Structure 1
Amino acid sequence: MRGDVVAKTDMRETKGFLMLQGAKVTSSFRDNLFDAANRAGMTPNEFVLQAAAEKLAASGRHFSGLFNPGDIEAAN
């Protein structure tokens, strides 16, 4: 049923910028983040946003996708 809802809203879904402030983290976290993102073929920003989307979806939040409608379901 959720797939039907996503399909119906695909045409109406718009994209917007997400302006985030820089954050200070430990160098070991930063190194691991960049390494994991590189291995996944993503930028560190994309990797962090994907992780946030997965956490939101796991907590029961509903949205059509992260970068494009339907792409978050592929990650689950």
Structure 2
Amino acid sequence: MVVYPPDAQGGRRVRADGEILGRALNPRDLLEFLRRAGLDPDSVRLDDPLLIDWRGGGPAAWSPDTSEE
């Protein structure tokens, strides 16, 4: 699963197996995407690099992208 950098509103695009799953606004949203993908959210570690490729910050980065200001 790939989680892209936060956008201007702080949402992060989420992709798995080449398919865009949606936009997560917080870790709870991301866990819901993982559940829909068939994983047990209670047993998932969001900092597991074998499961999630975090781009533009890790699981704590949910602030809007201000790099273009």
Query: TM-score band (shorter)?
Result: under 0.3
| Richer in helix (by share) | 1
Normalised by the size of structure 1, how large is the TM-score? 0.24
Larger proportion of strand:
2
Higher relative contact order (CA 8 A, sep 6+): 2
